Structure formats: structure tokens, C-alpha cells
Amino acid sequence: MNAKDPKHDLVPGAPAAVPPTLAEPTDPVEPLPPKPDQGTPETRTPTGAETGTDPRTAGQQGRWLTTATGVRVHDTDHSLKAGERGPTLLQDHHLREKITHFDHERIPERVVHARGAGAHGHFEGYGTADTVTCAGLFAEGKRTPVFVRFSTVLGSRGSADTVRDTRGFATKFYTDEGVWDLVGNNIPVFFIQDGIKFPDIIHAGKPHPDREIPQAQSAHDTFWDFVSLHTEAQHHTLWNMSDRGIPRSYRMMEGFGVHTFRLTRADGTTSLAKFHWKPKLGIHSLTWEEAQLVGGLDPDFHRRDLADAIESGAFPEWELGVQVFEDTPEQMFEGIDLLDPTKIVPEELAPVQPIGRMVLDRNPTNFFAETEQVAFHVGHLVPGIDVTDDPLMQARLFSYVDTQLTRLGGPNFDQIPINRTHAPVNDMLRDGLHQHAVHAGVAPYRPNSLDGGCPFHAGTELSDEETRAFVEAAHAVEGRKVRAQPASYDDHFSQARLFWASVSPVEQEHIVRAYSFELGKCYESAIKERQLQALANIDATLCAEVATALGLPAPEPTEEPADVVPSPALSQLTGGPWPGDGRVVGIVIDPDGALDDVSEVRAAVLAAGMLPLLIAPRGGTLGELDVQRTFATARSVEYDAVLVAGCPPPAPDALPARDAKAGAADSARLDPRVVLLLEEAFRHAKALGAWGTGLQALEIAGIPTDVAGVATGSAGPDVLSQVQDLIGTHRTWERFATAV
């Protein structure tokens, strides 16, 4: 985030580009422009040509209400009737158009990844990928527009953001050589090894078909029935039960291509590679209690966080890197099968080599037109990037096109503005639903002479950037048809054990709690016992702790747990300190206390690229300070750190009948909502800071000042400096207790 003018109120969330007037406007004006943080797809033709037109011309035009064909309308509040109290007339074409369009506003939601959020941005190559691929977007300094969609997997469009689930991380690169879609997740492995089983895992994870519950979660019998029987799912399941399953923010989430890709150099030689997105802000997650609180307080927490960060200038950023492997006939590395999507290659064995960076700097202008209609496809590839024989990837190559035909109404979904390529299109494809292009010529076939022989085949010489085409790598394949898998796919537990052994005791404690909760939600004891058997094959301690919580005996392993070398890169606590860009700092103030320090601290928070939110007994203005949150509306989960600048007594609305949070008052000296705020923030190991009478507030709330993560001092700026350092580690991890 760039340093901002501290005098400028940067609190995001204004719904319109211009503040509204109190009275309904009556003077006709042209449509207002989008907000400064918003962007739209470039105004390309359906065949990829630049138009040079302002993107806003794709939005509504003119100051007058019209029909879909541009006919002006003088009344849209009353249907045409046979008399004031008579029946509505069938001839009312405006009514019929308006209602018919409304009835058809929705399209089928995605079967998976229905709940999503998106943003525009750009990718800039470092030039370091030249040794492994000829793909032009990785050239040094090359800027490529992108659109990214983040999502949950299991929930419907109306589900909550903070459920325990895998997150989608799909990036559309609008390159000069065509569209490349890197369609990945925030977890580097998947539940299954073969795409034919994808309907099974999704049917198991989705709500039970008889009651359509539970929504957007895996804490139920059908999910655990499947993964306990189909043990290749254990590795992914362990990642999901870890803190990775509940990210703090999309901005603090890793991304992975999941599969191994084949990269081709300009000379035609190949390598195998795995793609990694590394967030600038580091990896950070919610605690389980925070996720539950946020799910009720703000189900849109992740999409709001993404949009607010971009609006306030804290542009999310990731570095794209690759793990590169020799393309051998066995397609193995250090005993790890590179075509098995349930396996990782530890970064200590194959370092991630940075090849570019991505910045998201514009919010969508229209959610439906952009985030909902964007269509990704694993088979959207460019010269230099190819697929492998990973059986999960192979099924995805079919599935993604197939689903767009239903969702987006036909084969021309690539012509929707958000999906339009930035490269010239001459595809000989014609007609179909929603054909936006107006093709000329009479010969959409090859060879032809009537259209002068156009279009012509491009070249196969990859070193010629002007004429090169996408050329499939000439990789040898077997010639015998079988329904089988290699023996290397049969190891279902060693990498799950690697993950468990690599994370910190705090993270292990959270994994135990997650398994205990999820399996505790299952009805059938046989399913719990079966999953405990899988855990016994991963780690005896993990199994024993979960078994204790379930009140069941811990079984002996049926397979000897593997000897593994921990991979520190798998722990979220590795690395840092991380930037404070876009972090939210709550500042509790007392209207009757000293506010001079507050103004200075607020300015310093803004200058540091963070967002200060003032929390007071009431809204409005206190002196020259605008209040953003009240004791009634504030909750700890919204803040990365809390500063206490005063000790406000109970406010007039601190009544249990008016605010349930006000029912736990232990003292008349401090508002009970502030006590709850401080207790929660401390319990969740967030940074706390206090000065002046704020020290009394900590004492009343029972917050010790001589423990890690609590900063005190005589002046606000000094305390803020200490808190900034604490924010860089996300949490004060040593405050978490662990029994593992």
C-alpha cells in the first residue's frame, strides 16, 4: 500500500462514486462513472482487436430510462391497465420485457466454486523463465493483464466465505499469444488421483441430498465416509483440517497449479514444472473461533476484505514461481511421482524459482458480468506451456468446456467481454448461441481459395515469436488401454505424515481440534472409527488425541508410519516479518479522554499503509475525528490489532435488552463490549497496545501487560511502533496453548 495523506479518510466501502443527496434527484444527469477503484474488461472486439474505446462505453448510456432497444420510457412504476382498477393489458410491452428479463437474470451457478470474488490486475515477468519455457508473458518487464477469481469449493453462491474448505485460485492471463488460464487452489494437492472420481468426492462433500444440509462444510457423514474409505484423500484432507482450510484473507493465501505441467523451450526441449503463487503478505489464517464469529457477523468477509484492500490502495500482490524437474520417461523426482496430484515435492528438495509478480489493483465494475461470467479452462494454453498425462488434469481438460456450455448458454462463451482474448482470432468457428462476431468471407474451412486461402497455418518453429503456434510436446505414451494406475500412486499416508511433521505444535493443535470437531459432527460411529484408522497410519499422536476427543480407542496402524524429513516451508509460521499493507487497526477511544494522541496515531497508521478504524461509544464525529465503529458494531475479528487509547465507561446503549454483548458487565468502569473485544483479541493472539487510561482498560478486562504481544507505553506513537512489529508475525503465536 502506498503511503497516503493522513488527512484523507481512506475507510473503504462507499457504495457509489458520488455521495447521494438527501432528496431524490430530479435534474437529469448522465450515468455516473465507476468508482476510482473499479475497472472493466478492455473494450476488445469478439475477435480480439483493440477498439481504443473507453471501457465505460460498454455500460449504460444516456440520461433517460429506455427499453432494451433504446426507446425512451416515461413511466416504469405502473403497468398498463384497462382503467385504474382494471386488469393489466397483455399489450404492455415494457412490462413484459422488464419481467421476462428479470425472470431470466440468473444462470446456473457453478457446481463447484460457486461462491467467488474477483479482481483485475497485471502480471510482470522477471525474464528468469527463459531457460525453461518460450512463453512470451514471462519475458523481463513484460506486462500482461490478468483477472483472478478466488472461491470456496463446496458452498453455494449464498454460502459464507469463512467455512473450512479448499479455496480456488484461478488466474486468466490475457497474453499476446492467446489466453492462458492457471486454474489452481490454495492447497497443492487434491483429494483424488483420477478425474473419473471427481463426481464422487464432490457428491460426498456437498450437503446430504435428502435434506440439503449441512451447507458449505465437510463436517458430516458422507464426506468422512468417502475419505475414510478412499484413503488417497487423506493428504488433502489433512491440509483442509489445518489452518490452510480457513484463510485470513485471499491476500494472505498461497496458490498452486496442483498438477505438473510440461514447459517447452524455444529449441523444443522440455521440462516438467509445478506453479506456486507466494503472497507478499505471507500466509495467514483465521482461528476456528474467529471463523465461526465471522460467519455470523460478516458472511462476505473475504470478498469484502479483497475489495476494501484494493479500494484503499493496499493492492494484493503475489510472486509466481516454478519448481522445475527433468522431463524423464519415468516422470519421477526423488521417488515422488510427478503425475500424482495427491503428492507434493518439498521446496527443500526443489526450490521455487521466482519468474514474475502479479498485482491486483482494480475491482470489478459489475459482479455478474465479470466475476460470475468469467470462464476458466485448464486447456487454455499458450506456446511453451503444455499439459501432462496426470489423469486428474486429463479429465479437467474435458470438464471445463462442458460446464460452460450449460452455464453460459452455448459455445461462444469466450466472446463474453471478461473472457475475450487480447490476441487476434481467426478460428473458422461459426454461429451458435450468443454469436457476437460478424464474420466476413464465405469459406470458413481449410483449404480454401475463395477467401484467398485465409486463415493460414502458423509455424512450428518455437524460436520464431512472430509465427510460432501452440505445438504439443512430443511425449511418448503407452499403447495399451487399461483401467489402472501405477504402483507409485498406492502410497496414501507418507506425505500426509510429512505435512503433520512439518507444521508447528500450534498448527498441530489446530489440526487436532479440526478433526475432533468434524468427526464429532458425524452420526455413524463406524465412520469415525474408520477415519481414526487412517489417522493411525499417519501419526500415532494425532490419532490418539482425536480418539480421546471422540471417546473412542486409538487403533494400531495397519501400515508402518513412514520416516519423513520435515519440510519447514509447509508451516505458516515460516518466514516473515510480513508487510502491514492493508492491515486493519482498531483504536478504542473515550470521548471524555485525551484525543490528541489518537489523531497522531491515526495519521501514523495511514502513513504505514494500514487502515485505522476508530471505535467509540457512538457514531458521528468526536472533535475532528470521524468514528467508524461503535461498541455495538465492533467485533474483534475485524481487526489485526487493537489499540486502547482510553477507558470508556458503559455507554447509554450498554443494555442487554438492546445489545446482547452488553450483558457481561463486570465493572461499571469500562463498557462491557470493550471488555469482550479485548478478551477476544487477546484469546486470538492478536497484537494489543495501550497507553494512558487505556492501561486501566486492559487491567479491568483482565489482560496482563507483561506477556508477549501486549505493548504499553506513555504515548500512542511509541506503542504503535511496537504493535507494527507484532503485526509482521500475524499473531503472537506463543500465546496459544498446545497439548500436542
Catalytic amino acids?
113, 185
Quote the CA–CA distance of 306 and 363 in Å, as a whole number. 9
The b/e string for 575-597 (b: 16+ C-beta within 10 A; e otherwise) is eeebbbbbbbbbbbbbeebebeb
Residue that the C-alpha cell 478412499 belongs to = 230
d(CA 406, CA 382): 25
Specify the 3-state DSSP secondary structure of 276.
strand
Strand 687-691 to 332-333 pairing: unpaired
H or E segment to which residue 719 belongs? helix 716-727
Cite the beta strand spans of 489-634 per DSSP E.
584-588, 611-616, 621-622, 625-626, 629-630
Count of CB atoms situated within 10 Å of the CB of 513? 17
Which amino acid is it at 68? Answer: A
Q: Is 149 exposed, middle or buried (0-12, 13-18, 19+ CB in 10 A)?
A: buried
Positive/negative CA dihedral, 162, 166, 172, 173: positive
Question: Is residue 75 within 8 Å of residue 47, measured between CB atoms?
Answer: no
Grid cell, residue 561, equals 508410519
The Cα-based distances of 426 to 49, 94, 344, 471, 540 in angstroms read: 11, 39, 40, 18, 60
Contact at 8 Å (CB) between 86 and 92?
Answer: no
Name the strand (E) or helix (H) holding 354: strand 353-364
Strand partners, 121: 146, 360
CA 483 – CA 365 distance, rounded (Å)? 47
- Mapping DSSP to helix (H, G, I), strand (E, B) and coil, where does residue 524 land? coil
- Residues 237, 229: Cα–Cα separation, whole Å: 13
3-class SS of residue 278: strand
Cα 57 to Cα 26, 51, 455, 513, 572: the distances in Å are: 24, 11, 31, 53, 45
Instruction: Work out whether strand 641-644 and strand 687-691 pair parallel, antiparallel, or are unpaired.
Output: parallel
What CA–CA distance (Å, rounded) separates 242 from 499?
10
**CB neighbour class for 63 (10 Å; exposed up to 12, middle 13-18, buried from 19):** exposed
Question: Could you tell me which of 323, 166, 168, 332 has the C-alpha nearest to residue 235?
Answer: 166
- Contact between residue 308 and residue 13 where contact means Cβ atoms under 8 Å apart: yes
Count the alpha carbons within 13 Å of 283 in the hemisphere toward its beta carbon: 21
Tell me the Cα Rg of the chain. 28
